[in-house]
């Protein structure tokens, strides 16, 4: 990130944190608990930090992830670690975080236990915040997943995925489960991702660019240079 882009990215993160806080307040006014589904990667760090400063009844908020690398929580690559370090701080520390990993060796072995945890959450989610990679992937629905067709079509909430372009095995919520939310946001930065999104909007095949599976959720795009 160049210095020139730092300010708009921080402002974007703050605007998204305000919108997320407002959505949670609205839902919590009419139901006991609300669920937030968040993405990992590098983009959401300032958003997580801004969100942790929102004044909310955090003890009534459940937080989980759209996807996770099958690594331990102490690994730099762990999205759970990212959420714990940058979101579950201060007042937000009391939110209930539900991780997508187990002690099993592989995501295929752990998927059943994770499915039970995910099923127990209060769906539909208040909000799903998606990220996107330069290859059009979102969550861990990558164009080169061996299980992509399944991820886009199954009504199972969670699946283990193997992706030749990625170093680790992963676990991801399915497109069907990610659709089950009152609000959908795509949080992206930079000209490259804007071009990928433009390309995604000019076609239909979600197997080529999996983000396409979410373009008509409707999807609110939070973008900054």
Please report, as ranges, the residues that interact with ligand 6PG according to CB under 6 A: 39-43, 66-67, 79, 131-133, 137-139
Contact 24, 61 (CB under 8 A): yes
What is the rounded CA–CA span in Å between residue 19 and residue 204? 29
Cα–Cα distance for residue pair 105/49, rounded to 1 Å = 31
Shortest reach from residue 79's CB to ligand 6PG, in Å: 5
For the bound state, the minimum distance from the C-beta of residue 133 to ligand 6PG, rounded and expressed in Å, comes to 4
- Distance from C-alpha of 193 to C-alpha of 215, rounded to nearest angstrom: 15
Helix (H, G, I), strand (E, B) or coil at 34: strand
Q: Nearest residue to ligand 6PG, using CB?
A: 131
Complex with ligand 6PG: residue 31 or 165, whichever CB lies closer: 165
Give min distance, CB of 26 to ligand 6PG, in A: 25
Residue holding tokens 């992963």? 170
Distance in angstroms (rounded) separating the CA atoms of residues 117 and 64: 10
Between 56 and 128, whose beta carbon lies closer to ligand 6PG?
128
Q: Please state the closest distance from residue 63 (CB atom) to ligand 6PG, in A.
A: 14
Instruction: Pick between residue 66 and residue 87 the one whose CB is nearest to ligand 6PG.
Output: 66
Nearer to ligand 6PG, 79 or 101 (CB): 79
**Three-class secondary structure of residue 204 per DSSP:** coil
């Amino acid at each position: 990130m160049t210095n020139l882009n730092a300010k708009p990215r921080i402002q974007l993160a703050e605007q998204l944190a305000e919108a997320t806080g407002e959505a949670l307040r609205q839902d919590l006014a009419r139901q006991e608990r609300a669920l937030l589904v968040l993405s990992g990667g590098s983009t959401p760090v300032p958003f997580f930090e801004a969100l942790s400063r929102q004044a909310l009844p955090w003890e009534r908020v459940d937080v989980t992830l759209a996807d996770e690398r099958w690594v331990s929580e102490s690994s730099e690559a762990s999205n759970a670690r990212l959420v714990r370090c940058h979101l579950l701080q201060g007042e937000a520390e009391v939110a209930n975080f539900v991780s997508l990993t187990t002690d099993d060796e592989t995501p295929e072995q752990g998927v059943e236990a994770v499915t039970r945890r995910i099923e127990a959450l209060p769906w539909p989610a208040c909000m799903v915040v998606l990220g996107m990679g330069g290859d059009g992937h979102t969550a861990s629905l990558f164009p080169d997943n061996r299980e992509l067709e399944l991820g886009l079509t199954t009504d199972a909430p969670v699946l283990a995925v193997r992706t030749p372009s990625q170093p680790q095995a992963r676990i991801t919520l399915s497109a069907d489960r990610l659709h089950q939310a009152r609000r959908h946001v795509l949080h992206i930065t930079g000209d490259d991702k804007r071009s990928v999104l433009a390309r995604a909007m000019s076609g239909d095949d979600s197997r080529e660019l999996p983000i396409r599976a979410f373009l008509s959720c409707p999807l609110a795009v939070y973008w900054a240079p």
